[in-house]
Each structure stands twice: as C-alpha cells, then as structure tokens.
Structure 1
Amino acid sequence: MRNEKGSLIRPVPLPDSASRPVVTPLSTSVVYASDTPDMLDQQYEGGLQGYTYSREGHPNADVVGGLIDRMEGAPNPGVVTSSGMAAVAAVLMGITQTGDHVIGGNQLYGRSLRLMAEDLPRMGVSTSMVDPGDVDAVRAAIRPTTKLILVETVSNPTLRVADIEGLATLCREKGVLLVVDNTFTTPRAFKPFDWGADIVIHSITKLLAGHSDVMLGYVAARDEAINTRLRIFSVTTGMTPSPWDSWMAERGMLSFDLRFDRAQATAMRLAEHLGGLEGVKRVIYPSRDDHPDQARAQALLKGQFCNMVSFELDGGRAEANAFTRGAEGLNFAPTLGDVGTTISHPASSSHRALTPEKRTELGMSEGFFRVSVGLEDPDTLCAVFSQAIAACKV
C-alpha cells in the first residue's frame, strides 16, 4: 500500500548491477541494517558475515587489513586501528594486566618509550628497557612475570637492527611473546612472522600509505585467542579507523612496492653521498660497512635496508638550525614515509621528552637528523643535502 503522506527517508536499496566497481567503494555508513533480530544474532555469533556498527568494523578497514595480512603472511586477520600508536597501545594495554612485566627495546619510537615509561607503570605493569641487539642482556632482564618483549626491526631513529632470530628463540624458551614493530622495514624488506614473531605492528601512516594524508595502524597476532583479544580491546576503546583514511591507504598501497624500491635505492645513494661530505660526523645506514649491525642486517633483510638514513652534523643546535634553513625544497617535519623526502630532528620532536643525557646515551645529539627518503631524482636530492650542510659552516 502506498503511503499517502510520502515515502520514508531511506526506503530505496542500492540498485543491482551485473558488473562491479573496479575501485573499492568508500563506505561511510556508521550503521548497517539487518533484517531481523535473529539475523543480527547470527552476525554477532559468527554464523553470518556482516557489518553492524562501524566501530566494530567496516568494509574499507577490512580491505586494507586484508592487503597487509597477505603482505605479512599473517596467520590471523589483522586489526586496523586509528593510528600506529593505537596499535602499540592495543598490545601493551590490551593483553597485559596488573603485575605483568614488559621489556622494550631501548631505542623505540619516542611515544612508545613514553607509553612504557609513564602509562604502563601507572596501571601496575612494570617495564624494562634493553638493547634488542644483545640477547644476553634481554635474557637477564626477563622475570617470571614478563609477558612480552616489544622491539622494532630497525629502530627509530638510530637504525639499529634487533636480533630478531635470537630474541624469537629466547621468547619460545621462556614462554614470552615477541612483538615486532615492522614500520621502518615493512613486509617488503622483512616478515617478522617468518622469523618467529608472535605479534606484528605497523604504522600504516608511514610507508604503507605513503602520502602523508592517512592516519592508521595495524596489528596481528599468531595466536587466534590473542588476536581476538586485540580486536575486542581496540573496538571497546574506540580505536576505530576512519573509512576515508582506510580508502586512501588502499589507494596508496597499490603503488607501495614501486615506491619502496625507488626510495630505498635513493637512500643507499644518499647515505654514500653524506659519508663523503665535510661537516658530517657520521652516517647511519644498515648496509654500510661502518654500521655496528651490518652483518645482522644482511642476514635478516637480505639486501632490503629501508628508506631511512640518519646522520650527525659536526656541531649542535645552531648548526641544526642552519641545516634545516639551507635544505631548500625539503620539508622539516616529524614524520616519515611521504612521497617527498622529509627530515626530522629527534631532539626537538620524537624524543624531546627524554633528557639531553638520555638522548646522548642513545646517540641522538643536537646535530642528529633522520631522513625519510622520498621519490626525488637522486642527483638533485644529493645536491640539496650538499648545499644544506655547506650552509652550516657559514
């Protein structure tokens, strides 16, 4: 019977089509309608596949998660979160409890360090920071209450390489979870699950999405029960990824392999160039003969070393200011993974919460910079760095 007072607000379903879209549709709906309460029960209980409320999952996040699952060889479907730090928090806060102990690499990203140093202890979870390249030191730090060890494959920003193989063996022996943040290396260079990791984390924001217009994270666990726990925690705490960001990330990831290979090749070239410039105290890149972990990097990464280069200027804050002013055309910004090269200064950004003494201990002076190499012409990029470093002497 026709409603004489007019149609309902949303009465018309999407039209049927014998063909399908080539590009994944953007699904901005917050809610999804089911036919009956019985159907909704079946969706929640797993009998039917379907969406209910976007905080609990939506198509665009599942597409992005599925892409990374395949890249990483994840044993279970990963969880896409609202940021890389949300993924870190889902692990550190979602699977620990009062009385647990957590070990972290002593050169983790600054916010990961802060979460471990300030927030976990507040909740009754004790923490220790250890060199992840020294398995004996990690072994000595393990307690009966140790729940997990969090490391980065290649550390941010000092580019030290964790002994993933040794740590995986130790964790199996001790019944401790090995959590690997694979953001810098990406699955193109390294697949932690293949080397014994229990949980893998990504900041999709960085190289995977690659255009500085997305904020997302990812986490997946080998054990199905832990994977489910991570998903429930992220849903409960509202770590919901944006459909728009997920849609944009998928688009960025379609060119990921090409972008990574080009940026990595240029990074190797830039590291060599910086090593020959007057005014540069040291250059850090895992393939270099003077890198302390070069042999381990070769064994783990098999010739794929990432697009990150770090270096230290002769001098301090004055020279750092002169360098950034002289780096014409490059963005000085606390981020990485853009199509354009960006330079960051850990002492004034990612690791500013550390004392100067602690930064010095970790090798991050006022003259220390991290470079996220982009897709520029290598000759042009090297010329810009030569000009900027020369400006430090004026």
Structure 2
Amino acid sequence: KNPPPGIRLLGSFDEKDYLSRKLLKPGDDPYRDHAFNVQESDRLGGERAIRDTRHYRCASMSYDAELPSTSIIITFHNEARSTLLRTVKSVLMRSPPSLVQEIILIDDFSSDPEDCQLLAQIPKVRCLRNVRREGLIRSRVRGANAASASILTFLDSHCEVNTDWLQPMIQRVKEDHTRVVSPIIDVISLDNFAYLAASADLRGGFDWSLHFKWEQIPIEQKMARSDPTQPIRTPVIAGGIFVMDRSWFNRLGQYDTRMDIWGGENFELSFRVWMCGGSLEILPCSRVGHVFRKRHPYDFPEGNAGCCVCRNTRRAAEVWMDEYKQYYYSARPSAQGKVYGSITDRVALRKRLNCKPFRWYMENVYPELRYEPPWKSLNGSALLETLTIFYNFQRWELIEPLIRQQDLCLAISAFAPGSKVKMEPCNTKEARQVRTSVFT
C-alpha cells in the first residue's frame, strides 16, 4: 500500500520525531511563546485539509503549460515547529512540482538550530542559518541572493497555501516581469486555527502614519471589473506574501537593508515598484491562509516593535514621499526625532532608476488618500487627559473648520453646558463637531 501523499513528499524526514521534541508541557501557557495557541497547532500536526475559498470560476481558469519555476523563501525566528512544517508541507502538497524549484528556509538565529536543519531532510528544502539576528528584511535579501529560480516567492512562516495558489501569480509575472503580485490572504484563527475566507473586495491601503489597512476597492474600480477573477490593482501590499521576478527585484534594489527587523518594508517596496515602472496586484484566484497575531512574540533591538516601525517608516518617507512626508510627520510626530541612518544609497537608487515623484503616485495610484494642502491646515500638540493621564502629547490638526487627529475629530456629546467632549469619525455636516478658527 502506498503511503499518503504528504509522507511521500518528505523523503527521509521523520515528521513524528520532529514535532514530538517540542510539544507543549502540561500547565504551560499555549500562547506564551508564539502569540497563538500552539497546543491547537500541534494537535493539527504537519498537514490538514482546508476549504477551497476561491470564487467558483477560478477552478476553470487555465494557465500556460510552460510556466517558470520559483524559489520560495520563508524566513523565521523561533517559529512553532508544527506551524512551520505545515507551511512547508502545504507548499509541497498544493503546488505543481514543476513550479517549485526549491524552498529556502532562512533561520534568523532561532534558539534551536535544529528547527531548520532537520527540515532540510525534506526534498527541495534548503536551510540557511544567520549567525546573528538580522530580521525579516535582511533575511529575505539573503534568501533572494541564494535563490536559483527566475521568480521569487516570499512567504511567511505561519501560512497554509490553498488550492492552485501558485499558478495565477506566476502566470501574471511571466506575462509582465514588472508586476508584483500577491494572493488574497485568508485568516487562520490564532485561537483554534480555523481557516476563514477573506473578502475578495479588498485592497491594501494606509493612513499618513504609514499604518497598513485593508480597505474596500473603490466603487469605480469595482464597477470596471466585469469578472470577479480579474486582478485587483492595489496601492500597497501587506508584504508578507508576494511573487516577483528575480531580475526585477534585483534591479529595483531588493530591500532597504538598513531597515531593522520588521515593519515599513512593504511601504518602501510598494512605493518603489509603482514609482519606478512596475505595478502591484492582488489575485482573487490565489489564496493563502495566514495566522494574524495580536502581538509580536519575539524581541526587538530597542525593546518594542514601535521603535523599528518608526525608524523604518521614516526611512521610507524620507526617500520616497517628497513634500508629502510632512503629512507622515504630522500623523507620527515621534518619528521626527528618530535616528534613521544614511539614506544616500537609496536616494541614489531612486535617481538612477529615474522614478516618478510621489505626487504622481498620489494622483495615479492612490488618489483616494485624503490630504489637505499646507495652506489649509495648521498643526499643534495638545495633552488630552481622561481618567488615566497620557503623558505624551498627541498631534492634532486644525483643518478648517474641524479639529482632527487622523480620521477622528473633536465633538461635543450634546448642545448643553458641561457636555463632554469626545472623539468620533470626522463629518463636516455634523454640527456637534467642534468648529473654530483658532486652536490654542
């Protein structure tokens, strides 16, 4: 009797032994080390069936018989073994073998080298270990430099790819090497690991603090899409999962390797792709599940993720956002004093590639991002106190006639003496929102 497909794919790798060495001990907090329920992940083991969440028309899509293969790059630091193995096995089980040239695991100096080394026993899997903590960004560059395929696929270490996930993305990149494509990212519950379908009507967006968010496709773009399987143009990608031509990745300058650990790299890459001659797409017929966590389970050099994100996004703003960076600093005032290192090489890269100005990006790629011309807004700091005192000043804008902090405005609860002041979504037609021509 032939062994199951998942077993045949593993070669000499002993899955049971690999997983049993790191099982949760009785009484241990299952969320402590990984910020998700590792006990439930371990219960699922190295593979499971998941629902095909694509639109039904995707099943009848056809792709070129001759598609180029890809190097799949997965970086990780102290990832749960069951989650990491399930990521690798889902790739091997749900991808045409001819398209997967190799899976390159970059172990970013995890506590146990065997987390990665033992997985190298699986056919097509390579393991590269950093000699010190480098972070996601530099680790991905190392993986890209080691890749042998003409197309790069970047994947997070807590994912499960879905049916026929790879063919649509490789097809689009084959047709135009300047495209950078991403799947619809389904949700894997951090509590019970249920696989949940994400909406197919979303794209990537951001606010002026360079905080990524999912947003509805603009109505004009939605109406122009006659087929739900058509690609979705997106101003930015989430950054964890995407496919890109290797030569285009290298020509565009890979990643900004002076960014630290994690955060902001997706904005820098997205701005660079659009402004330097490429495009970004989300493909509805490609689906990948991802565990979204509420906190980072690993340490950062300066103690918290915010420090890295602030430094990294400032680098992106200084290189790519031109005069629009003032809106970034208004939304993220803590960035103004943040040391961000030399950007000389990235500025030179932008000049060498003859990239378009950020104004072009705002007008042609993301016109929906609201901003006010400088002459229409004033900025200042104020201390807003509630029952718990906030010791940090909050950044406010006076945009005639409302007092705004990002998308929220000051408003009174009622037209009566002593009414409480609160924050609510800005609406110029709402009479309760505070209007003034002087803000002191």
| Band the TM-score falls in, shorter-chain normalisation | under 0.3
Normalised to the residue count of structure 2, the TM-score between the two structures is 0.22
Which has a greater percent of helix? Answer: 1
Normalised to the residue count of structure 1, the TM-score between the two structures is 0.24
